[in-house]
């Protein structure tokens, strides 16, 4: 037991003392605290690291487990899968920028009020629900608003006599996803951007005003540059959020699989094409790569932001 | 001076209320539309039929019960896994803190739709060993709530001097389990409540993994019902959103009031 546990559970600890008569026992004693995290590490390995490993290795294997590049060439070789990636990235980019701008404005409007006020607390709780809880339910909210028998569609058709929205059919495609995704990006932006806004000290504004600066001058030369890294970082988070979203699209899109998560669903649930058994894993690997790039950029920005925030 | 600043202040207030009004309409209109949609009767009358149907749809009630059980099991599992581990790392293994943090935040960079691809073969084994019960989703859900729960619990432990408290207890003869249950847990009660509430909200809203592993949780049944009874689905969705809002609003007011902008709800940002 001593020989089995001690060497495996002390990686990264101090160099082991020279082996004496009690060396083994001492090493075991020093390793003992590490046993405390074993249940956690075991659990995370089984249900987080192992699935990730299956995805990454599976992307390079055929149905018999032999190495192959055919999954990756199917994804990267153009056609439906690559188009889905392009659409996913454009959708995420558009909704991240729209959500970031609108959400930052909302965050500013909320931050202007008292932090203990009812509006402040209600907006934060409401944003938490809409940003996190949404998914399928938000899809139904949009069906009830803009769908074929949606409130706004009927209102415009019956009362104003116009059919501006094409009877609601736009909602079930990419355009609908842009509107629905922006809807949950705004509250998420508020949640991640509000702390940065609250980090702006009133003294900075007062200093700017004392020097004769207008509100515009303050935002142009002080507030704007200070908030830019947080704003960019939050936009990257919003991108990753939209890129990984599945539920809203699954409930809203009625035909085809325009974006990558829906392509993965198709790969998981339908008959496999010969020689592309693991194409779903290749698509999933592609998503991991895109998000890893975005999150790396985010981490770099975060380091810059933390220099002045708090 | 007052004459100079007054118009500026007015303009600012005007912009502020315009922003609040425009985004408010965008965010609230679909929710109000749900209310209108779900109370439509025949011939333009109002009707609460869809809302009454919630109590009569056995599929829906079963799914609500399943999701409720999943929420309880996930919270218990998360607490059992995370509280002792994070406390132990704070007390005895500070050098492992970065590793544990990295592992806990990892699910943020692996979307659920990606995770489910790798979980599918593992769940073949899980259902072989434990039976094909929807409650086995607990294992996957604990992973999903890990980042949010970790942040809350880690923040709670960082806010108290847990090492000194533990030393005091140990010198008075307490065991490590005594330290955990009688010192750590009572001192981070607020953090435990935050972590639990966030986990409940996430479990009740989860769709991706349950639907692709073919288990009928609340969201999956709402989605399936939507194909034949849209009014009912919209009514349940609205009810669930209001329930989640109430949960988070109460949490924001009950939790210990901290510094500006860092209330318990802040940890909810998925990738914050």
Mean pLDDT of chain A: 82
Name the least confident of A40-44, A137-141, B112-116, B227-231: B227-231
Cα radius of gyration rounded to whole Å, chain B? 23
Contact B12/A105, CB-based, under 8 Å? no
Residue A274 to residue A190: CA distance in whole angstroms: 47
Residue A235 to residue A163: CA distance in whole angstroms: 34
Residue A48 to residue A43: CA distance in whole angstroms: 8
- In this structure, the answer to whether residues B224 and B90 fall within a common structural domain is yes
Taking the CA of residue B15 as centre, how many other CA atoms within 13 Å lie in the half-sphere pointing to its CB? 13
Contact B262/A195, CB-based, under 8 Å? yes
Model confidence at A288: pLDDT above 90: yes
The partner residue sitting opposite B240, judged by closest CB among A43, A109, A137, is A137
Measured in angstroms, the CA of A176 and the nearest CA of chain B are apart by 13
Contact B113/A12, CB-based, under 8 Å? no
Name the least confident of A132-141, A211-220, A301-310, B107-116: A301-310
* Cβ-based contacts of B19 with chain A (< 8 Å): 105-106, 108-109
Q: Determine the residue among A132, A215, A261 to mutate to test chain B binding: the one whose Cβ has the most chain B Cβ atoms within 10 Å.
A: A132
Which residues, numbered 68 to 97 in chain A, qualify as contacts with chain B under a Cβ-Cβ cut-off of 8 Å?
none
Residues in chain A, total? 310
Beta carbons of B196 and B75 less than 8 angstroms apart: yes
Whether B260 maps to a domain, the answer reads no
Which runs of E-coded beta strand occur in chain A?
none
What does the pLDDT read at residue B254? 65
* Cβ-based contacts of B251 with chain A (< 8 Å): 125
Facing residues of B46 across strands? B40
Residue A197 to residue A223: CA distance in whole angstroms: 9
Chains A and B form CB pairs within 8 A to the count of 279
Helix%, strand%, coil% for chain B, nearest 5: 80, 0, 15
* Cβ-based contacts of B111 with chain A (< 8 Å): 243-244, 246, 261, 287, 291
Pair of tokens at residue A38? 């074993």
Say which residue the tokens 């920028």 belong to. A97
- In this structure, the answer to whether residues B240 and B139 fall within a common structural domain is yes
Distances (CA, A) of B237 to A44, A130, A236, B25, B131: 32, 12, 29, 19, 30
The partner residue sitting opposite B237, judged by closest CB among A141, A214, A280, is A141
- In this structure, the answer to whether residues B69 and B131 fall within a common structural domain is yes
A92-116 b/e with 16+ CB inside 10 Å = b? bebbbebbbebbbbbbbbbbbeebe
Model confidence at A12: pLDDT above 70: no
Q: How confident is the model at residue A18 (pLDDT cuts 50, 70, 90)?
A: very low
Measured in angstroms, the CA of B117 and the nearest CA of chain A are apart by 7
Q: Does A250 touch chain B (CB under 8 A)?
A: yes
- In this structure, the answer to whether residues B113 and B179 fall within a common structural domain is yes
Whether B24 maps to a domain, the answer reads yes
Contact A191/B268, CB-based, under 8 Å? yes
Domain harbouring B116, CATH code: 1.10.3720.10
- In this structure, the answer to whether residues B112 and B143 fall within a common structural domain is yes
Residue A214 to residue A210: CA distance in whole angstroms: 10
- In this structure, the answer to whether residues B9 and B63 fall within a common structural domain is no
Would you tell me how many other CB atoms lie within 10 Å of the CB of residue B227? 8
- In this structure, the answer to whether residues B134 and B33 fall within a common structural domain is no
Measured in angstroms, the CA of A284 and the nearest CA of chain B are apart by 5
- In this structure, the answer to whether residues B11 and B74 fall within a common structural domain is no
- pTM summary value: 0.84
Model confidence at A41: pLDDT above 50: yes
Residue B156 to residue B192: CA distance in whole angstroms: 8
Would you tell me how many other CB atoms lie within 10 Å of the CB of residue B220? 24
Measured in angstroms, the CA of B20 and the nearest CA of chain A are apart by 6
Contact B271/A55, CB-based, under 8 Å? no
Chain Cα centroid distance, residue B246: 13
- In this structure, the answer to whether residues B157 and B200 fall within a common structural domain is yes
Whether B25 maps to a domain, the answer reads yes
Q: Determine the residue among A59, A128, A176, A201 to mutate to test chain B binding: the one whose Cβ has the most chain B Cβ atoms within 10 Å.
A: A128
What does the pLDDT read at residue A48? 94
Dihedral angle sign, alpha carbons of residues A59, A64, A66, A69: negative
CA dihedral A144, B212, B244, B147 (to 10 degrees): -140
ipTM here: 0.84
Pair of tokens at residue B164? 């000194």
What does the pLDDT read at residue B261? 38
Three-class DSSP category at A61? strand
Which residues, numbered 45 to 64 in chain A, qualify as contacts with chain B under a Cβ-Cβ cut-off of 8 Å?
46-48, 50-55, 58
Q: Which phi and psi angles does A226 have, rounded to 5°?
A: -70, -40
Measured in angstroms, the CA of B238 and the nearest CA of chain A are apart by 7
Whether B48 maps to a domain, the answer reads no
Contact A191/B89, CB-based, under 8 Å? no
Counted domains in chain B: 2
Contact A132/B142, CB-based, under 8 Å? no
Which distant-in-sequence residues (6+ apart) come within 8 Å of A129 by Cβ? Answer: A187, B201, B241, B244, B245, B248
Distances (CA, A) of B271 to A231, A234, A237, B148, B260: 14, 9, 6, 9, 20
Contact B212/A268, CB-based, under 8 Å? yes
* Cβ-based contacts of B228 with chain A (< 8 Å): none
Whether B267 maps to a domain, the answer reads no
Facing residues of B258 across strands? none
Residue B228 to residue A151: CA distance in whole angstroms: 19
Look up the domain containing B17 and give its range: 2-38
Contact B12/A112, CB-based, under 8 Å? yes
Contact B107/A284, CB-based, under 8 Å? no
Contact A136/B38, CB-based, under 8 Å? no
Residue A29 to residue A23: CA distance in whole angstroms: 10
- In this structure, the answer to whether residues B84 and B175 fall within a common structural domain is yes
- In this structure, the answer to whether residues B101 and B65 fall within a common structural domain is yes
Whether B102 maps to a domain, the answer reads yes
Q: Could you read off the pLDDT of A229-278 as tens digits, one per residue?
A: 889 989 999 999 999 999 999 998 878 888 999 999 988 887 666 556 68
Nearest-by-CA chain B residue for A114: B260
Contact A244/B111, CB-based, under 8 Å? yes
Contact B118/A135, CB-based, under 8 Å? no
Q: Which domains does chain A have, with CATH numbers?
A: 37-309 (1.10.3720.10)
What does the pLDDT read at residue B1? 42
Whether B16 maps to a domain, the answer reads yes
What does the pLDDT read at residue A186? 93
* Cβ-based contacts of B44 with chain A (< 8 Å): none
Say what angle helices A80-111 and A174-198 make with each other, to 10 degrees: 40
Beta carbons of A124 and B262 less than 8 angstroms apart: no
What does the pLDDT read at residue A9? 39
Reading chain B (272 residues) residue by residue, the pLDDT tens digits are 444 444 557 888 888 899 989 988 988 999 999 998 888 877 777 888 888 888 888 889 999 999 999 999 999 999 999 999 999 999 988 889 999 999 999 998 899 999 999 999 899 899 889 988 999 999 999 999 999 999 999 999 988 888 899 999 999 988 888 989 998 999 998 899 889 988 998 999 999 999 999 999 999 999 998 888 888 989 999 998 998 888 888 877 765 544 433 333 333 334 43
What does the pLDDT read at residue A3? 41
Whether B261 maps to a domain, the answer reads no
- In this structure, the answer to whether residues B174 and B88 fall within a common structural domain is yes
Nearest-by-CA chain A residue for B106: A48
The partner residue sitting opposite A112, judged by closest CB among B16, B107, B116, is B16
């Amino acid at each position: 037991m001593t020989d089995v546990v001690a060497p495996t559970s002390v990686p990264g600890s101090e160099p082991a003392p020279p082996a004496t008569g009690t060396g083994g026992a001492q090493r075991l004693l020093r390793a003992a605290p590490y046993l405390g995290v074993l249940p956690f590490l075991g659990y995370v390995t089984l249900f987080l690291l192992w699935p990730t490993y299956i995805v990454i290795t599976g992307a390079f294997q055929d149905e018999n487990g032999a190495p192959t590049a055919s999954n990756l060439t199917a994804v990267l070789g153009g056609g439906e899968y690559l188009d889905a990636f392009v659409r996913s990235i454009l959708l995420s980019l558009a909704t991240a920028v729209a959500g970031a701008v609108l959400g930052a404005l909302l965050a500013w409007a909320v931050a202007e009020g008292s932090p203990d006020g009812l509006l402040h607390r209600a907006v934060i709780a409401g944003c938490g629900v809409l940003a996190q809880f949404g998914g399928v339910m938000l899809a139904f909210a949009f069906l009830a608003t803009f769908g074929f028998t949606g409130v706004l569609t009927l209102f415009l058709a019956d009362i104003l006599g116009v059919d501006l929205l094409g009877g609601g059919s736009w909602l079930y495609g990419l355009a609908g996803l842009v509107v629905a995704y922006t809807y949950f990006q705004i509250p998420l932006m508020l949640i991640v951007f509000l702390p940065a806004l609250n980090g702006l000290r009133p003294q900075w504004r007062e200093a700017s005003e004392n020097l004769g600066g207008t509100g515009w001058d303050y935002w142009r030369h002080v507030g704007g540059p200070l908030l830019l890294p947080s704003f960019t970082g939050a936009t990257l988070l919003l991108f990753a959020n939209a890129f990984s979203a599945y539920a809203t699209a699954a409930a809203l899109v009625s035909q085809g699989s325009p974006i990558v998560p829906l392509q993965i669903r198709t790969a998981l649930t339908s008959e496999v094409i010969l020689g592309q058994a693991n194409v779903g894993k290749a698509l999933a690997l592609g998503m991991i790569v895109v998000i890893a790039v975005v999150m790396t950029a985010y981490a770099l920005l975060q380091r810059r932001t933390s220099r002045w925030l708090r | 001076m007052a004459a100079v600043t007054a118009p500026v202040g007015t303009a600012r207030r005007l912009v502020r209320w315009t922003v609040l009004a425009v985004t408010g309409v965008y965010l609230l209109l679909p929710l109000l539309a749900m209310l209108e949609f779900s109370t439509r009767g025949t011939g333009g009358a109002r009707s609460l039929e869809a809302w009454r149907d919630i109590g009569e749809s056995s599929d829906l009630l079963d799914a609500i019960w399943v999701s409720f059980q999943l929420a309880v099991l996930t919270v218990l599992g998360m607490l059992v896994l995370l509280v002792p581990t994070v406390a132990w790392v704070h007390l005895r293994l500070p050098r492992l803190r970065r590793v544990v943090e990295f592992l806990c935040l990892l699910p943020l960079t692996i979307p659920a739709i990606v995770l489910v691809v790798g979980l599918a073969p593992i769940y073949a084994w899980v259902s072989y060993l434990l039976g094909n019960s929807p409650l086995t989703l607990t294992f996957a859900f604990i992973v999903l709530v890990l980042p949010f729960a970790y942040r809350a619990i880690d923040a709670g432990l960082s806010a108290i001097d847990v090492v000194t408290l533990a030393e005091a207890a140990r010198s008075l003869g307490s065991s490590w389990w005594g330290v955990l249950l009688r010192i750590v847990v009572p001192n981070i009660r607020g953090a435990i409540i935050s972590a639990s509430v966030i986990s409940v909200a996430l479990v009740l809203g989860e769709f991706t993994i349950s639907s692709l592993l073919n288990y009928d949780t609340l969201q999956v049944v709402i989605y399936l019902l939507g194909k034949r009874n849209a009014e009912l689905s919209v009514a349940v969705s609205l009810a669930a959103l209001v329930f989640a809002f109430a949960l988070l609003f109460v949490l924001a007011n009950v939790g210990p009031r901290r510094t500006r902008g860092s209330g318990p709800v802040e940890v909810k940002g998925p990738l914050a």
